[in-house]
Structure 1
């Protein structure tokens, strides 16, 4: 069995690892949120641009201008696809970060449980020693009292 001080050191290291995993999880959550916001902004901009294109087209437009609009919409579609992929990567990294944090937390909890068990065993051993010492003292006192009466 590891000494309490060694066990406490391991628990402290596990706590540090858990804290680092939590910070990383927060960072990954921020990146995922940012990717989602960028995708939302691109999608909204595409919708607004398409509506504007349709409004202008109702009044009539040249084929060159129509091609420019269509080309720009195509580039927005490409950006949206790329951002969707970036969001998927960010979500995958977030899931991996969450799994890592959970693993570190379980490890930390295991050390905490071991420390608690060790402390409980030590307390029980101390109580047994104190009880044994008390019993020995009481027995010695009783023997002395009986010996004193027989004299």
Structure 2
């Protein structure tokens, strides 16, 4: 088996790895967008809730109601902090996926260039061999005619 034939399956595997890494980048990117949307929803809800608290306060509320509003506001703050942490994690995962994809893509392109080079070398060697055979045949034919 020549070098070109041995390299083709390796190139195919590298191509599959690049595709898989690309899918992981897309998935991580989608996950980040989802988490960012959740943060945006929480932020909007926090603003809405704050507005309701102000409106309720202007209308007059009891101390218990105020404590209940305050506890829920704290829960929202915790949820926002947690969601921001999730976004940071997703950004890290996405960055790692991109790095892996780039490394696999560079490897694939290098193998692809190597395969092209080996194919060219094999073509040149084949042409030389054919020319040598042709020359040998012509030389033998010329000897027979003398």
TM-score normalized with structure 1 length: 0.84
Matched, 1:81 2:88: no
Q: Which runs of 5+ in 2 are unaligned?
A: none
TM-score normalized with structure 2 length: 0.86
Secondary structure (helix, strand or coil) at the match of 1:61 reads coil
Cα drift, residue 141 of structure 1 = 7.3
Q: In 2, Cα distance between the equivalents of 1:100 and 1:26?
A: 13
Q: Which residue of 1 aligns with 2:61?
A: 61
Q: Which residue of 2 aligns with 1:36?
A: 36
Q: Which residue of 2 aligns with 1:19?
A: 19
Secondary structure (helix, strand or coil) at the match of 2:61 reads coil
Cα drift, residue 127 of structure 1 = 3.0
Cα drift, residue 143 of structure 1 = 7.8
Q: Which has the larger radius of gyration?
A: 1
Q: In 2, Cα distance between the equivalents of 1:47 and 1:5?
A: 64
Q: In 1, Cα distance between the equivalents of 2:70 and 2:10?
A: 61
Q: Is the 8 A contact 2:3 2:118 kept in 1?
A: no
Aligned positions, number? 145
**1:1-151 map, 5 Å:** 3-133=3-133
1:59-93 residue CA offsets vs partner (Å, 9 max, x unmatched): 22112111111111110000000010011001100
Q: Is the 8 A contact 2:21 2:101 kept in 1?
A: yes
Q: Which runs of 5+ in 1 are unaligned?
A: none
